[in-house]
Amino acid sequence: MRSQTHRVGSALLHPTARGPRVIWFAAVVGLALTALGFILRAAPIDAPAVEAFNRMHIGAWGWTAVAIYLALEPISAAFLTLLVLITIAAVLRSVRTAVVFGGIVALTWLPTAAIKAIVNRPRPDVLTLAHPFTPAQTDGSFPSGHTAFVAALTIAFWLLLRGTRGAPIALIIGSASTVTVGLAVVSDGLHYPTDVLASIAWAIAMAPTARWVMVDVIAPRLGGFRKSS
């Protein structure tokens, strides 16, 4: 058990030395997604899918979908991340690992707010929905910040556990959670399916850059934290 715990986080902290490559990849994907967002803003081809999913927003699933959305609002998501970081630091006895983990989540998740503001795709039309969400959300819908957060958390956990028996489990649970959140926000009538898919694509593209920034750029300059801490 001690050897297994000792291995957790070792792959996460291993330098990558692939900065330019991953930065360019994230930049290209980000520009492509932004362009796609403008196209979808002008032609919301997946609006019928939102209406279909929203009709299923009843009973236990309806309450669950609303709860998922409210539980992953930005402040709640930040608090959840903080709890995860405290747990990682306590269990692994490594503040450095917790800081790198948190940085990967933040740098992957938070830029979606900038894309959302630039594209400013309107939310699905509440007049076409059988079960509109209240209160109405007035910010842009593309991409989904809720989905991006869970996807970022999934990737960070996979990186943390990579090389251990827990890595496939983290990937399976995280992927299922990401899909569930995506279905919830579409069923709530707050996002289009393309918002969800764009968030997942962004998280996959941005996470390597976030890891490079945290591991290769920031972590070596954390003079207050020993490498072994």
Q: What would the pLDDT profile of 8-37 be if each residue is shown by its tens digit?
A: 777 788 887 777 889 999 999 999 999 999
Angle formed at CA 33 by CA 98 and CA 130, multiple of 5 degrees = 95
Mean pLDDT calculated for residue range 188-214: 96
Q: How far is CA 154 from the centre of its chain?
A: 7
CA dist., res. 108 & res. 98, Å (int): 16
Question: Which DSSP category does 214 fall into?
Answer: I
Q: How far is CA 77 from CA 37, 148, 152, 167, in A?
A: 24, 11, 11, 22
By C-alpha distance, which of 202, 187, 100 is closest to 149?
202
Locus of tokens 């992957």? 108
The pLDDT score that the predictor gives to residue 189 is: 96
CA dist., res. 210 & res. 19, Å (int): 10
Packing angle between helix 193-212 and helix 145-161, nearest 10 degrees?
A: 40
Cβ neighbour number for residue 102 with a 10 Å cutoff: 19
Helix (H, G, I), strand (E, B) or coil at 121: coil
Alpha-carbon torsion, ordered 11, 15, 16, 22, to 10 deg: 100
* Residue 5 scores a pLDDT above 90: no
* Residue 1 scores a pLDDT above 50: no
* Residue 56 scores a pLDDT above 60: yes
pTM higher than 0.85: yes
Contact status, residue 112 vs residue 150, Cβ threshold 8 Å: no
pLDDT tens profile 75-127: 999 999 999 999 999 998 889 899 999 999 999 999 999 999 999 999 999 99
Share of the chain above pLDDT 70, in %: 93
